Structure 1
Amino acid sequence: MTVASHRIDTNTLRRGACPSITAPMQTGDGLLVRLRPVSAALSAQDLLALADIARRHGNGLIEITARGNIQLRGLIDASVPRLAADLAAAGIETRTGVAIEIPPLSGVDPSEIADATPIADALRNAIAAAALTLAPKLAIVVDGGGVLSLSDMVADIRLDAIETNEGALWRLAIGGDRETARSVALLPSDAVVDGTMAVVSALAAAGPATRGRDLDVPTLSANLSEGDNGQEAISWFKSGPRHPVGKHHIGSRLVLGVAPAYGQVHADRLAALVQSLSACGAMEFRLATHRTLLVCGLSEEGLSAAQGAAEREGFWCTDKAPGRSVSICAGAAGCASASFDTHAAADAVVAHAAGLLDGSVDIHISGCPKGCAHPARAAVTLCGTADGVGLVLNGKASDPALATVPADGFVPAIQRLGALLRNRRAESETAKSLLDRTAPDTIVSAYQGHQ
C-alpha cells in the first residue's frame, strides 16, 4: 500500500457519505475516518496499534459505532495518508465498498443456523465485479443467527438464515430490520448471491440515491424464480439477539462484551484496557454492534478480573449498564451540525430518567435532525434544533418534534419527565409498557413543564 494510493477525494469531505480513508468526513473537531477491519478477530497488538495511530494522526478519540466499526477523530488532511501507511505497516487491512455486516461470532457460535461468512464474501466479490454505482450508505446484512445475531440492525438488503427440515434457507428482504424488512424471496444457499445481486442491480438501475425502502417488492419477487416470497418466514425466526454488552456463554466459550461509555474512548484508556484484559487471559477481540468490543478466550476467573479491569477504565461490562440503551452522536463537541452537548444530555437521562433505560426501548439523543447515531425509529428521541432540544416519540430525529425546550432547560425537562415516569410506573413494569400506556400529551406536558 502506498501513500499515493490514498489521495483524499476533497469532493467527499461532507456529511451524508460514509467516511473512509479515501473520503474522510469534516466534523467539528477535524476529519473523521471510519475503519472496517477485514479480520473479524483482532489481536491485542492490533488494538494497541490502532490506539497509537489515533494518538499520532488524530486527537486520540476512538469510537466504536453502532454497527461495530472503528472511527478515528480529529485528523487533518496531511495525517490521513500517513494513517493509511501506518495501518498497512501494522498489518491491519480494512474493507472498502458496500458495507456487508455479519454477526461478530459468525463461524464461532454453535447456536447459529448458518455461517454467514461465505455468503457475505461471495456477495462482496460479486458486487465489486459488477462495478455498479450505488447509494453511498447502502447497507447489507447477512445474518446466520446465533446469540449475537443482527436481527435489530436496519439494512437496505437483509439475508436471514432460516432453519427448515430441508436445511438452512435464506430469506431475502429489503428496507428494515428482521421484523420490519419486506420479504422478497426465500432462497437456498446456492441461489442467494444471484438473487441478492438482482436486488442490487435494481438499486443501481434506479439511480445512485435509491435505497432498499424505495424498491417495489412484487416486481422483485416476480423476477426471482427460485423459492417463494418468504412472507411467512418471519414467524419461523427464533427470538431476537441479546445485547452484546455483558457475559455470554457461546458453546463452551466465555465471551465478555465491553463498551466505552456512549461508544467513545481516548486511545490511552483503550490501550490501558487492552493491556489489562490481556493480563486476564484475553486471546482475541471482536467488534460488535451497539458500540461493543467482545473479549474472547477468558476463563471464569479471568472474566471476573476482566470485568473489574473494564470498570476501572470506565467501560460498561454488564447487561445492567444503564447507558447501553442510549444512542448518541458526537454532539456539539465533535460536529458542527450539532446544537447541544449530547454526552451531557445522556448523563442527565441516566441520572434523572433511568427508568427509561431497562433495555426494553431505545433512547436516541441526536445533535441535529440527521440522526446519524440511530437512523431507525426510537421510542424516545431527543434532537437538537435551532430552537432547543426537541422530543420525538416513536420516531426518528428527522420527524417533527412534539415539544421543544431551550438547551439550558433540558436538564429540568428530563427531571420532570423522570419524575412522571417514576410516579406512574407499576411494580416490575418495563419502560416499553409504561410508555405504551402513557398518553403522548402527558409526556409532552411533563417535558415542557405544563403539568
Structure 2
Amino acid sequence: MTAASHRIDTDTLRRGACPSLAAPMQTGDGLLVRLRPVAPALTADDLLALAGLARETGNGLIEITARGNIQLRGLTGASVPRLAQGLAAAGIVPQTGVAIETPALSGIDPSEIADATPMADALRAAIAAAGLTLAPKLAIVVDGGGVLSFADMVADIRLDAIEANESVVWRLAVGGDRETARSVAVLAAESAVDGTMAVVAALAAIGPAARGRDLDVPALAADLPFSPVGRRWPEGSDEGACSPGGVCAPPSSRCRDLLPEGEQEAKSWFKSGLRHPIGKHDIGGHPVLGVAPAYGQVHADRLAALIQGLSACGATEFRLAPHRTLLVRGLSEEGLVAAQEAAEREGFWCTDQAPGRSVSICAGAAGCASASFDTHAAADALVAHAAGLLDGSVDVHISGCPKGCAHPARAAVTLCGTAGGVGLVMNGKASDPALAAVPAEGFMPAIRRLGAFLRNRRAESETAKTLLDRTAPDTIVSAYQGHP
C-alpha cells in the first residue's frame, strides 16, 4: 500500500465515529488510530512491530482499550499512511466493518459452552453482504462463555450461548450486557444468524445512528421470520400459550425456561463465574497470564521491554482482551512466576487485586492538549488515599476535559477537568455539570479529604456502591471541597 493510495477521510477527523486508519480521530495530542487485528493471537514480533510504529508515526503512546482494541496516539495526517504501510509490511491486518466481538480465548477454552468464532464469522459475512448503513459505533457481542466470558460487555446486539437439553442454543438480546440486555428470542444454532440479521435490518431501517437501545423488542420478536426455540408455559398454567405453538419470545419470567427458572435466577446465572482478565488463569490445565498497562496506557519502549521479557520467560502468544488486558500464553508454571516479575518491573499490573483497574482515565495533560490536569497522578492519588472507591462495585472516571473520551457513559464518580478546576460529578458523565470543583493545585488534598471521609463512614465489608448509595451527595461535596 502506498501513501498515495491510502487516503484519509478528512470529513471523519472528529468525535462520533470510531477512529481507524481511514478515519483517524483528532484529539488534543494529534490524531488517534484505533485498530483490532483480524488475527485473534499476536506474536512477539507483531507487538514489537506495533511498538516501533507507535514511535515512528506517533508520540509513542499505546493504549489497550476497555474493549480490547489497540490505540496509537499523536499521529499526523502525513504519518497515518506510513502507519498503514508499516502494518501491512508486518502482516497485521486490522478488522473493518461492524465490530463483532468474541471472547479472547474462543475456541481454545474447554470450559466454554460453544466456540463463538464460527458464529461471529458467519454473522460478519452476512452483514457485509447485506450492505446496510449502520451506526459507526454499533457493537455486536457473540459470547460462547468460558473462563473469560463477555458477560459484562455492553453491546447493541448480543448472542449468548446457552446449554439446553444436551444441545446449544443462542439467546438473542439487545442493548446491554448479558444481565441487562433485553431478550428478543432463544434461537437454534442454525437460526441464530438469520435472527440477528433481522435485528440488524431493524436498526438500519430506523436510521444510520440507531443503536440497540432504540429497538422495539416485542415488535422484533413478533416479526422474526421463523419460530424461535423459546419457552412454554408451565403445565397446568391457565395463562395459555405465549404465541401459536406455545413459543414465548421475548422470554417471560412466568415461563418454564431453557435458562434457569425465573428471571432473577437467570440474571444471577448470567453473572456467575465472571472473572477479571488480569491475573493468572488455568485454561484447560495450561496457565494464562493477564497483564495490563497501568490505566491502559504505556509508552512503546515499555511495551517492547515487556514483550522481550515475557518471550524470555517462554511466552509464545498474546491476545488482546477487554478491561485493557493482554493475555499471555505458552508459559510453564515456572515461567509464569518469572513473567509476573517481568511485568511488574515494567510497571504492568498482573494481579486482579490491582485497585487501579477499576478506574477509567484518559491520556490527561501528559498526552493531550485538551486535558487540564494530570489524570494519571490523580488516579494514583485515588489508589493511595481513596482505594475504597475502587473495589469494582462502581465505575470511577477521571477525565482531563468534559469530552469524557475514556468513559462516555455515566459513572458513579467522575473527576473532570473544567475551566474552574477539577470538577466532581456524581452519577453522571464528564460533560454533566459538576457539583463542585477544586483548583488543580488543590486536587491532592481534596482526594485525601474524600478518602478519609469515606473510610470513616464505611461499615465493615460494605461495598463502595452501598456506601455511595446511602451517602447524601452534598456531604460528599463538602468533604471534597474541605467545608466543615
TM-score class normalised by the smaller sequence: over 0.9
- For 1:290-337, what per-residue CA distance to the aligned partner results, in whole angstroms no more than 9, with x for missing partners? 111111111111111001000100101111212111111122343444
After superposition, where does 1:213-228 map in structure 2 within 5 Å?
213-224=213-224, 225-227=226-228, 228=249
Cα 1:176/1:406, change in 2 over 3 Å = farther
Find 2:374's aligned residue among 341, 350, 374: 341
After superposition, where does 1:394-413 map in structure 2 within 5 Å?
394-413=427-446
SS in 2 for 1:237: helix
Aligned to 1:373: 406
Residue 301 of structure 2 corresponds to residue 280 of structure 1: no
SS in 1 for 2:205: helix
Aligned to 2:238: none
Aligned to 2:140: 140
Aligned to 2:329: 296
Cα 1:163/1:20, change in 2 over 3 Å = same
- For 1:206-256, what per-residue CA distance to the aligned partner results, in whole angstroms no more than 9, with x for missing partners? 111111111111111111143232355544535152111111111211111
Q: What amino acid maps onto 1:304 in structure 2? A: V
SS in 2 for 1:248: strand
CA RMSD of aligned residues (A): 1.8
Residue 192 of structure 2 corresponds to residue 159 of structure 1: no
Alpha-carbon distance in 1 for matches of 2:307, 2:439: 41
Find 1:383's aligned residue among 405, 410, 416: 416
Alpha-carbon distance in 2 for matches of 1:98, 1:186: 23
Residue 262 of structure 2 corresponds to residue 229 of structure 1: no
Aligned to 2:103: 103
Aligned residues of 2:314 and 2:335 also touching (Cα < 8 A): yes
Unaligned runs of 5+ in 1: none
- For 1:338-382, what per-residue CA distance to the aligned partner results, in whole angstroms no more than 9, with x for missing partners? 343322221221121111122333211123344332233333222
* Count of residues paired in the alignment: 451
> Which stretch of structure 1 is more off in the superposition, 194-203 or 336-345?
336-345
Q: What amino acid maps onto 1:194 in structure 2? A: D
Aligned residues of 1:353 and 1:417 also touching (Cα < 8 A): yes
After superposition, where does 1:102-141 map in structure 2 within 5 Å?
102-141=102-141
Q: What amino acid maps onto 1:22 in structure 2? A: A
Aligned residues of 2:279 and 2:290 also touching (Cα < 8 A): yes
SS in 1 for 2:71: strand
TM-score norm. by structure 2 comes to 0.89
Alpha-carbon distance in 2 for matches of 1:365, 1:168: 41
Q: What amino acid maps onto 1:319 in structure 2? A: D
Aligned to 1:45: 45
Q: Which has the larger radius of gyration?
A: 2
Alpha-carbon distance in 2 for matches of 1:267, 1:75: 14
Residue 437 of structure 2 corresponds to residue 416 of structure 1: no
Alpha-carbon distance in 1 for matches of 2:163, 2:192: 15
Alpha-carbon distance in 1 for matches of 2:360, 2:149: 19
Alpha-carbon distance in 2 for matches of 1:130, 1:26: 31
Cα 1:120/1:83, change in 2 over 3 Å = same
Q: What amino acid maps onto 2:251 in structure 1? A: G
Cα 1:231/1:404, change in 2 over 3 Å = farther
The CA deviation at 1:430 is 2.9
Aligned to 2:302: 269
The CA deviation at 1:2 is 4.4
Cα 1:231/1:285, change in 2 over 3 Å = farther
Q: What amino acid maps onto 1:282 in structure 2? A: A
Aligned residues of 1:146 and 1:241 also touching (Cα < 8 A): no
Aligned residues of 1:258 and 1:293 also touching (Cα < 8 A): yes
Cα 1:180/1:396, change in 2 over 3 Å = farther
SS in 2 for 1:34: strand
SS in 2 for 1:6: coil
The CA deviation at 1:33 is 0.7
Aligned residues of 2:218 and 2:250 also touching (Cα < 8 A): no
Alpha-carbon distance in 1 for matches of 2:342, 2:288: 15
SS in 2 for 1:111: coil
Cα 1:196/1:4, change in 2 over 3 Å = farther
SS in 1 for 2:157: strand
TM-score norm. by structure 1 comes to 0.95
Alpha-carbon distance in 2 for matches of 1:407, 1:218: 50
SS in 2 for 1:418: helix
Aligned residues of 2:38 and 2:93 also touching (Cα < 8 A): yes
Aligned residues of 2:179 and 2:270 also touching (Cα < 8 A): no
The CA deviation at 1:276 is 0.6
Aligned to 1:332: 365
Aligned to 2:23: 23
Aligned to 1:317: 350
Unaligned runs of 5+ in 2: 229-248, 254-258, 260-265
Residue 280 of structure 2 corresponds to residue 247 of structure 1: yes
After superposition, where does 1:142-221 map in structure 2 within 5 Å?
142-221=142-221
Aligned to 1:308: 341
Aligned residues of 1:51 and 1:270 also touching (Cα < 8 A): yes
After superposition, where does 1:432-443 map in structure 2 within 5 Å?
432-443=465-476
